[in-house]
Structures are given as structure tokens and as C-alpha cells.
Amino acid sequence: MDGDKNIMPSTREFTEEEVERYGTEFWPKLPSYRAEDRSIESCDLIPLFKMMKWPRTDSQIRQYTLFNEKTWGGRIKFENWRGAMLTAHDRIGYLRWTAETLDSNGDGYISREEYEFGMDLLTGHEPELAKVPYEQMVREADVDGDGRISIEEMIKWLDTIDNRIRP
């Protein structure tokens, strides 16, 4: 995936060993760390990324924080964070992870609100990704024509937006 270095210049691949090591070495050092459920608060993402030497822009941090607030009530568990880290370098993997996480009310469908929030996150994470309006996404993604977008339909659709990242 040589072309990807232009799309996500500051993103590198994290191995499982690395991510586990961050969990063991860095997480317990964070002020909001809670051992019972192995979680931290959003505000500790900044020191965490610093320890990892993984530079993130203010706008990326803002989007991650919003996502954490909305999806997990502001407390991120290591397991959830681990999933994000392992797919951070791989656009499609990250999109899949996001699609599954997007369904914040757990009804198996991506609502307009859930979709728009996710688009903001994705374009924050990856500024070159084109923002597709909800109506257009439904036209393209609603394969069974029931007017709703299931998680499966969302994942398939996300796979196809590869082509429209840049003109």
C-alpha cells in the first residue's frame, strides 16, 4: 500500500506486541487509569500519544475525544483502544472497526446521527477522505432497499469509498 503514505502521513503500523506493551507500561502511569476495568478518560489520550511518540493534531484529538465521549461515555477501555490501534494504519480495517462501533445504540443499523458523527471522526482521522452526505450514502449503500443501513451494508459501502478519497 505504497500510496497510503501520502494519505496518512503521521500514521504508522502498530504490532500486537507494541500495543500490549503500551497497555502494560504506559496505561498504569496515566492519571485517570482505573485498574478494575482497565480504562482511562479521554483527557489522558494526549499524554498517552506522547508516550507512544505518535503525533496527533489538535483536531484529531478533538475527534477521538468526541467519539470516546459519545461511544463509551468518556471512559475508554483498553480492549476498545487496542482495536482502534491495531487498525489505525489500515484504512479499510479502521473503517470496518468504525462501522461496528458506530452503531452506538446497538440496534444493528446506522442512523443519520450515528453516520454523520462517524463521518466527522473519519475525516478528522483522515482529512483527505471525502465527506459523503447521508442521503447519498443511503442511495448507494441500501442494497436490500429497506431504507435502513445495516452494519453489514455499511461495511460493504465503506469498502467502496476507497475510490473517492481524492479526485
Residues engaged in binding Ca ion (CB under 5 A): 103, 105, 107, 109, 111, 142, 144, 146, 148
Q: How far is the CB of 152 from Ca ion (least distance, A)?
A: 9
Compare residues 6 and 105 and give the one whose CB is closer to Ca ion: 105
State the sign of the Cα–Cα–Cα–Cα dihedral 37, 41, 47, 52: positive
Nearer to Ca ion, 32 or 111 (CB): 111
Q: Nearest distance from residue 53's CB to Ca ion, in Å?
A: 36
By DSSP bridging, strand 39-41 and strand 75-77 are antiparallel
Instruction: Kindly tell me which of 44 and 103 has the beta carbon lying closer to Ca ion.
Output: 103
Nearest to 98 by CA among 115, 74, 75: 115
Q: CB of residue 43 vs Ca ion: minimum separation in angstroms? A: 27
Closer Cβ to Ca ion, 13 or 69, answer by number: 69
In whole angstroms, how close is the CB of 33 to Ca ion at the nearest point? 30
Burial letters 81-92, b for 16+ CB under 10 A, else e: bbbbbbbbebbe
d(CA 101, CA 99): 5
Task: Pull the grid cell for residue 156.
Answer: 460493504
